């Protein structure tokens, strides 16, 4: 496939599941879209159709998940699907959702990746454009920070620090040129602590969470019987989230993103800061010099046969 061209999926995809926060069931329908359509969510939860573009300007909340919305409605927990879309290099897609929240599936991007690769990705006769970072853009809030730096390629590098003996301090860097999103990042699941469950339920959060869709940390151990999919699954999931959040710039970002102790709020703030400064970025067309795109790296790839079991290495 010519990776300088825009892409979409070959056929419609339909997936169903429960929302991890709301506990409500929802069905999502992914449909091919034409050149320059971008990624557009359509809420059909109440019988009508509410279009919400997948852009930083549509972000209405970053508390525990990324929520897109407008004055007419919203769709929560979009980051895992957006990560799959960005990780596979898809430019145009219509995402129809019949509930208030995207289904969490298994807590990772893997089910979306599998479904997309199963139907295939096709090129569109229109040039792909990138957002090229021209100067550093940084956001810091307390001990958390995020920054975008000029870089001849696409890279996401994160560090997390938790006051927990099992997680502790972890770091991971994903370079779109040398890695495979499907293999290296997509299977990392959202995680939480067993000690927080009752508090979250009392606040009306995590109503759909279970061991089937959340990596649960108990007293010094992973509660899930299958264990970890990656030795550093916790930080890889944060990288997954960041890839999804950064894609809300509206085009792939040519630059290096670095974050320490960040999350959805920091990710969104950095994207907004970048796009608000016309001197910090420019449009760039075609493939980054000497580097493969995500689409080139992952087209035709498949997740390992034991995609939903622990990684053995």
The residues, ordered by sequence, that sit 6+ positions from 210 with a Cβ below 8 Å of its Cβ are: none
296 is catalytic: no
Is the separation of the CB atoms in 83 and 247 below 8 Å?
Answer: yes
Is the separation of the CB atoms in 15 and 112 below 8 Å?
Answer: yes
Give the 3-state secondary structure of residue 201: helix
Rounded CA gap, 28 and 39, in Å? Answer: 14
Q: Which tokens go with 84?
A: 């799959």
Which position among 21, 56, 264, 296 bears the catalytic label? 264
Reading the chain (313 residues) residue by residue, the pLDDT tens digits are 457 999 999 999 999 999 999 999 999 999 999 999 999 999 998 778 999 999 999 999 999 899 999 999 999 999 999 999 999 999 999 999 999 999 999 999 999 999 999 999 999 999 999 999 999 999 999 999 999 999 999 999 999 999 999 999 999 999 999 889 999 999 999 999 998 887 887 888 789 999 999 999 999 899 999 999 999 999 999 999 999 999 999 999 999 999 999 999 999 999 999 999 999 999 999 766 544 444 444 544 444 433 333 332 2
Q: pLDDT tens, 192-209? A: 999 888 788 788 878 999
CATH assignment of 5-298? 3.30.1700.10
Is the separation of the CB atoms in 78 and 62 below 8 Å?
Answer: no
Q: Where are the domains of the chain?
A: 5-298
The answer on whether 279 is annotated among ligand-binding residues is no
Q: pLDDT tens, 62-109? A: 998 999 999 999 999 999 999 999 999 999 999 999 999 999 999 999
DSSP sequence for 8-69: EESS-EEEEEE-TTT--EEEEEEEE--TT--EEEEE-TTSS-EEEESSGGGEEE-SSS-EEE
The answer on whether 56 is annotated among ligand-binding residues is no
The answer on whether 237 is annotated among ligand-binding residues is yes
Give the 3-state secondary structure of residue 84: helix
Per-residue burial over 28-57, b = 16 or more CB atoms within 10 Å of its CB, e = otherwise:
bbbbbbebebbbbbbbebeeeebebbbbbe
């Amino acid at each position: 496939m010519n990776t300088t061209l825009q892409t979409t999926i070959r056929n419609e995809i339909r997936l169903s599941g429960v929302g991890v926060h709301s506990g409500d069931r929802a069905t999502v329908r992914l449909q091919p879209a034409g050149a320059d359509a971008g990624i557009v969510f359509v809420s059909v939860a109440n019988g009508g159709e509410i279009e919400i573009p997948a852009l930083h300007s549509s972000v209405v909340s970053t508390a525990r998940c990324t929520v897109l919305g407008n004055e007419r409605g919203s769709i929560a927990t979009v980051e895992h699907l957006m990560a799959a879309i960005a990780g596979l290099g898809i430019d145009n897609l219509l995402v129809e959702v019949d509930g208030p929240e995207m289904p969490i599936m298994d807590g990772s991007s893997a089910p979306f990746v599998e479904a997309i690769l199963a139907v295939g990705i096709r090129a569109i006769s229109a040039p792909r454009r990138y957002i090229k970072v021209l100067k550093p853009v940084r956001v810091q809030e307390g001990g958390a920070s995020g920054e975008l730096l000029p870089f001849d390629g696409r890279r996401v590098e994160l560090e997390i620090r938790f006051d927990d003996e099992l997680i502790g301090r972890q770091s991971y860097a994903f370079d779109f040129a040398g890695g495979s999103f499907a293999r290296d990042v997509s299977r990392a699941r959202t995680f939480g602590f067993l000690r927080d469950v009752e508090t979250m339920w009392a606040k009306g959060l995590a109503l759909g969470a279970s061991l089937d869709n959340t990596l649960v940390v108990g007293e010094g151990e992973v509660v899930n019987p299958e264990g970890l999919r990656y030795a550093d699954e916790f930080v890889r999931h944060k990288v997954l989230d960041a890839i999804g959040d950064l894609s809300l710039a509206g085009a792939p970002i040519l630059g290096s993103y670095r974050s320490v102790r960040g999350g959805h709020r920091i990710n969104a703030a950095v994207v907004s800061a970048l796009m608000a400064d016309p001197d910090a970025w420019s449009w760039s067309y075609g493939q980054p010099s000497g580097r493969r795109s995500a689409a080139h790296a992952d087209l035709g790839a498949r997740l390992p046969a034991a995609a939903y079991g622990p990684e053995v290495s």
